[in-house]
Homo-oligomer: A and B are copies of this chain.
């Protein structure tokens, strides 16, 4: 199928999965989206204070996994990955809501974001 374009990547103080809170907003730190220079024109119109959806490519996900267990409940039965938010799935796309704090050139600073440092960003959309 189609090949994704890398539009940028995340800069964060989260460097390992064990640093990550289990659910969004359980105290995740702020982070920055470093937009690739090629895609800066696509950022115009985004403003501080706006809520955005950030689509990432969870590059540490295992794309061969179809069934999984919750990270915090290893005794649970196996569930299809489409019924979970596991990063292990055929297309490990992460979906995150954050508020824009500021935009400076190619750097979009956002509030609480549970995404590992270096994670590729593949799309940004406004929250409607």
User: Which A positions have Cβ atoms within 8 angstroms of B?
Assistant: 1-7, 23, 39, 41-46, 50, 52-53, 55, 57, 59, 63, 66-67, 78-85, 89-91, 93, 95, 120, 122-126, 128
Chain B residues closer than 8 Å to A52, beta-carbon distance: 82
Cα separation A53 to B53 with both chains bound (whole Å): 13
User: Which residue of A42, A57, A93 has the most chain B CB atoms within 10 A of its CB atom?
Assistant: A42
- Check A1 against B1 for contact (C-beta < 8 Å): no
- Copy tally for this chain in the complex stands at 2
Q: Which residues of B contact A123 (CB under 8 A)?
A: 82, 89-91, 93
Q: A85-B126, A124-B82 are in contact. Are A91 and B42 (CB under 8 A)?
A: no
